[in-house]
A = this chain, B = another copy of it.
């Protein structure tokens, strides 16, 4: 087998016309075990987790192992008072933000308010010991609460089957944790990368709108509200069956316009005015605080403590004015005391186990996506590494323990993590501080919240989720990649018009479709020589590039696999046919060499080699010679293994397109 590839340093060959032959060292035999090990390593251990353990004494290895599982033993050794000051301030700030949010979010999950607070006590503590992100703020979050509520509600009614509902919630939380930890242990963390950035942007935006719409119940004081989350059902709940009423009124000699107006006002009478006034004024306050914080980054604390201030003021107001007697709905009762055990509440058998398992997987994956996205964002801002797989084990453990201590699924919160970062947090100690404040609240302060109006919680939720609607990201996605934008909008409209699950399904499907499209229809390009260089580039990208007479140079922009091998072969033949038609009509010499630039062809499989063999046979029939330029290491290994170089003839594989052209050009037969 000839293992030489011919390369001519261009300047040399131009001057002396003697091609410089460059040898290529094909690895004599594919070392199968090594190849396999490399693949496994890059797939599962791409971060090389055992690197620090190399060449260390045993005791040191033990310490490193402990530090790997509990990073607190690593960064804790260099912890000091200065760092603590930052953590204390940020911890107190996020605590003030999380308490009202927790109470509100637990309502999204159709759970009593104390469960939100429980979930801000135990999970952050566990995370502080095991997590590797320094900025993330752990606790219940809006999107996961909504998702969990929607999914659980399909199985049990949260009002009439409150016990089963709660037990299923813990079961789902348990399996969410197991899912997360398992992905981490099996090092399958990369699976969450399959939810693309664009899909997440759309999904979050849609979820934010859905959550905000759900708040109309508390905000307008409506008693009978739909359980569905899509915009059509919600609007029907808000405005009642207006069409029906209008057609009744317009049949009684009112004009259509009058009928609409009358019915609209009648409908609005069902709303509770006091509730709306309280809700609207505090929403205005919260949004103003947010706006202020956005204008002046130093005033971020205004928006951070605004929710707590709103709660205190509105609670006082209701307590003094007895507005609850006027129909303003209030929280009424929050259980006092810290998390009770819920080990016995988890369904470990029967049909409910399966239900909880299914819901847990979905909720766990979404929670993971959110937490990892937050962790990565802040890690890249401060330039430290977050180990995805380790992070998953931490999040998983925290949710498993949480499910046994009356918590529901907790994860990293976008809004609170941002506040945590801006308040100057240094380490996960800020989570411990927050956790302790929540602990004190549960122990002593819950009775104070009983007069808190639900409308305030709705306002707080609305002002929090508004930040999840990321217009700028959506506009940027539109600018950069239209297909991504379709995924983004698919997820968005799926969530808004159908349901959270359907939006998620659409997002994942479109993301997969994109991958499949990429591997099914790779791009190909015709190359030309850029004037005064030996560089060959796509003539569509560089219109000044010129074709070489009698030679067609095609670049294939993808690995050639079974999924695209036939297409690639047929596309190349179609380029040739089109070029030949063009040359014929313009009376130019025909194509005698087809050079395939293989640089972007990173891999080839048996189907791909079959396609190349078929291509070669077709070219022989057309009296065109096949030449390859710059096949990569894997490709050349496989070409030689299949005997393809012997088939197409000696010296038909070159190091660069320029070399191939230099060797082919002189051989072109000039015909008339």
Could you tell me which A residues sit within 8 Å of B by CB distance? Answer: 7, 9-12, 20, 22, 24-25, 30, 32, 35-36, 39, 42-43, 46-48, 190, 193-199, 376, 380-381, 383, 388, 476-477, 479-484, 511, 514-523, 525, 530, 532-535, 537-538, 540-544, 557-559, 561-567, 570-571, 574, 599-600, 602-607, 609-610, 614, 617-618, 621, 630, 632-634, 636, 638, 641-642, 655-656
Task: Flag if A562 contacts B520 (CB, 8 Å).
Answer: no
Q: Top 4 A-B pairs ranked by shortest CB distance?
A: A196-B562, A557-B602, A541-B633, A197-B607
Q: A193-B564, A197-B606, A605-B196 are in contact. Are A7 and B383 (CB under 8 A)?
A: no
Instruction: List B contacts of A610 (CB < 8 A).
Output: 197
Contact at B533–A9, with CB atoms within 8 Å? yes
* Sample of 11 further A-B pairs with CB below 8 A, known A46-B570, A530-B655, A537-B655: A7-B530, A25-B541, A39-B521, A190-B566, A199-B562, A380-B618, A480-B606, A480-B609, A535-B656, A537-B630, A599-B599
The complex places the Cα of A193 from the Cα of B605 at a distance, in Å, of 13
With A9-B532, A538-B633, A602-B600 known as contacts, the answer to whether A567 contacts B190 (CB < 8 A) is: yes
Q: For the complex, what is the distance from the CA of A479 to the CA of B603, rounded to whole Å?
A: 15
User: Which of B42, B534, B564 interacts with A521 by CB under 8 Å?
Assistant: B42
Candidates B10, B515, B517, B630; contact of A43 at CB < 8 Å: B517
A557 to B634, CA, bound (A): 11
Question: How distant is A643 from chain B, measured CB to nearest CB, in Å?
Answer: 9
Copy number in the complex reads 2
Check if A522 sits within 8 Å of B480, measured CB to CB. no
Which residues from chain B contact A537 at a C-beta distance below 8 Å?
A: 630, 655
Among residues of B, the one whose C-beta sits closest to the C-beta of A573 is: B385
Whether the Cβ atoms of A516 and B517 lie closer than 8 Å is: no
The distance in angstroms between the C-alpha atoms of A541 and B633, with both chains bound, is 6
- The chain B residue sitting closest to A639, CB to CB, is B480
A519 touching B519 in the complex, CB below 8 Å, given contacts A22-B533, A24-B542, A633-B538: yes
Instruction: Check if A614 sits within 8 Å of B7, measured CB to CB.
Output: no
Contacts A476-B606, A541-B24, A599-B600 known; A559 to B482 CB distance under 8 Å? no
CB<8 Å pairs between A and B, sample of 25 = A9-B532, A22-B533, A24-B541, A25-B544, A36-B482, A39-B517, A42-B521, A46-B521, A190-B567, A197-B605, A197-B610, A198-B562, A198-B606, A481-B604, A481-B638, A483-B605, A515-B515, A515-B561, A515-B563, A518-B561, A518-B603, A523-B603, A540-B633, A557-B602, A558-B602
B521→A518 contact, CB < 8 A: no
User: Of all chain B residues, which has the CB nearest A556?
Assistant: B602
> For the complex, what is the distance from the CA of A46 to the CA of B380, rounded to whole Å?
42
